[in-house]
């Protein structure tokens, strides 16, 4: 029985990550798969497997989770805050459930297949729309956004993960399988442009520049990367600053990239809440933070329709770092920052790991990723890689040490 469970356990894990984007259509399936993994875990795990998670970052993140529970319980808000806390626990739970799996490439391939399935589903919906709607615009059309399998932000996140995973799976020397990973990278990049996921596009540009800091010929690459930044900055000041139309286009690009109309208000209110409170030692709680933000929306937003939208939807801070500071206090915020910095130090010699961490940080800057179960799953995937005790990146294209 144990041998049978051990043989099928990785495939249940693979299927879990494959089905995440289809949560709206198969809402119960990921939860069922997660329950099966939890029940099977004691029968497939070995004592040696726990060595994979005997690392300082794991202990720090576990301490962060315990702090959230103790802090919320001691201030009488555990019941109302547990909705968010359990999603953070899900991320670390996925790391623990992963440890019996010896071949992590299977899980990586699940991300690749999942992104391809999500792209196919979305493209089919978009093609159907092109035949039914006369006024059609790629990327910017609200109808196109509705046609996507999941929210554009998270679909873009999945595509970026798929690109990075495909890059890490490329073989150093010629291998027939490389053509499939290269094709997947191209498909995901084109799809990001198709849906206008500009946060993801900006992230990819930053990752390309980041790549220049790793591997051979860094003495040539780094100056080229710096020169590219200077040229882009120069073009901005010469072309956009001196051209009202160009400046307007650039401004629209930034606005659309960060959903500025929402995030500018939520960030402004988050900072106002910080200013209106004394030193935030114990935190306001996740529920209490939303209450404070809603109160700010009532006082700040002049447009009645927009005000009602913000209040009815109870928009969060749209920044995971601000949310942790407001909700958990200074200690919780510092624990999370220390965890991120420790991961950076641990994985700084690997482009793949550093790129994953950079992706995590960027999305945490524009979204409360732990307040969405889908976000918790994808953060869990990143943590599985970053928290493993592997010291050498699996990408064999270039020796990055």
CA-to-CA separations, 236 to 37, 196, 201, in angstroms, rounded: 51, 21, 18
Q: Are 25 and 71 in contact (CB under 8 A)?
A: no
What mean pLDDT, rounded, does the chain reach?
Answer: 83
CA-to-CA separations, 77 to 2, 84, 94, 282, in angstroms, rounded: 41, 12, 25, 11
Residue 352, C-beta contacts closer than 8 angstroms, at least 6 positions apart: 164, 167, 168, 393, 394, 395
- Looking at per-residue pLDDT, the higher value among 115 and 140 belongs to 115
pLDDT band at 263 (very low <50, low <70, confident <90, very high): confident
Question: pTM to 2 decimals?
Answer: 0.85
pLDDT attached to residue 245:
53
Q: Is the pLDDT of residue 167 over 70?
A: yes
pLDDT band at 7 (very low <50, low <70, confident <90, very high): confident
Q: Is the pLDDT of residue 27 over 90?
A: no
Cα end-to-end distance, the chain, whole Å: 43
Q: Within 10 A of 390 (CB to CB), how many other CB atoms are there?
A: 13
b/e map of 353-362 (b: 16 or more CB within 10 Å)? bbbbbbbbeb
Going from N- to C-terminal start, the domains of the chain cover 1-44, 53-102+259-391, 105-213
Between CA 306 and CA 330 the distance in angstroms is 32
pLDDT tens for each residue of 55-108: 888 899 999 999 999 999 999 999 999 999 999 999 999 999 998 887 777 888
**How far from chain centre, in Å, is Cα 363?**
5
């Amino acid at each position: 029985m144990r041998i049978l469970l051990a043989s099928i356990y990785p495939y249940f894990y693979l299927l879990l990550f494959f089905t995440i984007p289809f949560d709206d259509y198969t809402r119960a399936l990921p939860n069922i798969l997660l329950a099966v993994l939890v029940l099977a875990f004691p029968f497939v795990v070995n004592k040696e497997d726990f060595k994979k998670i005997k690392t300082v970052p794991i202990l720090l993140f576990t301490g962060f989770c315990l702090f959230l529970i103790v802090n919320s319980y001691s201030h009488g808000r555990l019941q109302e805050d547990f909705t968010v806390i359990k999603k953070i626990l899900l991320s670390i739970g996925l790391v623990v459930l992963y440890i019996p799996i010896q071949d992590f490439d299977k899980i990586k391939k699940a991300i690749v297949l999942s992104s391809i399935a999500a792209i196919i589903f979305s493209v089919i919906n978009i093609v159907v729309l092109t035949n039914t709607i006369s006024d059609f615009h790629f990327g910017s059309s609200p109808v196109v956004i509705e046609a996507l399998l999941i929210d554009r932000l998270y679909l873009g996140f999945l595509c970026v993960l798929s690109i990075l995973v495909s890059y890490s799976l490329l073989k150093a020397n010629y291998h027939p399988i490389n053509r499939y990973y290269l094709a997947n990278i191209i498909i995901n990049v084109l799809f990001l442009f198709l849906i206008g996921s500009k946060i993801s596009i900006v992230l990819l540009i930053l990752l390309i520049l980041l790549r220049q800091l790793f591997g051979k010929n860094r003495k040539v690459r780094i100056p080229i990367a710096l020169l590219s930044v200077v040229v882009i900055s120069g073009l901005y000041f010469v072309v956009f600053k001196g051209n009202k139309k160009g400046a307007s286009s650039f401004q629209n690009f930034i606005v659309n990239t960060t959903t500025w109309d929402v995030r500018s208000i939520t960030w402004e209110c988050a900072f106002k809440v910080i200013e209106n409170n004394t030193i935030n030692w114990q935190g306001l709680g996740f529920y209490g933070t939303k209450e404070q933000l809603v109160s700010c929306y009532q006082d700040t937003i002049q447009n009645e329709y927009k005000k009602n939208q913000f209040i009815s939807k109870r928009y969060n801070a749209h920044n995971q770092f601000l949310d942790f500071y407001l909700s958990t206090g200074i200690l919780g915020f510092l624990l999370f920052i220390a965890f991120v910095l420790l991961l950076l130090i641990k994985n700084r010699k690997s482009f793949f790991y550093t790129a994953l961490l950079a992706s995590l940080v960027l999305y945490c800057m524009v979204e409360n990723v732990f307040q969405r179960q889908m976000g918790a799953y994808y953060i869990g995937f990143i943590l599985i890689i970053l928290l493993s005790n592997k010291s050498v990146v699996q990408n064999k294209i270039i020796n990055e040490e």
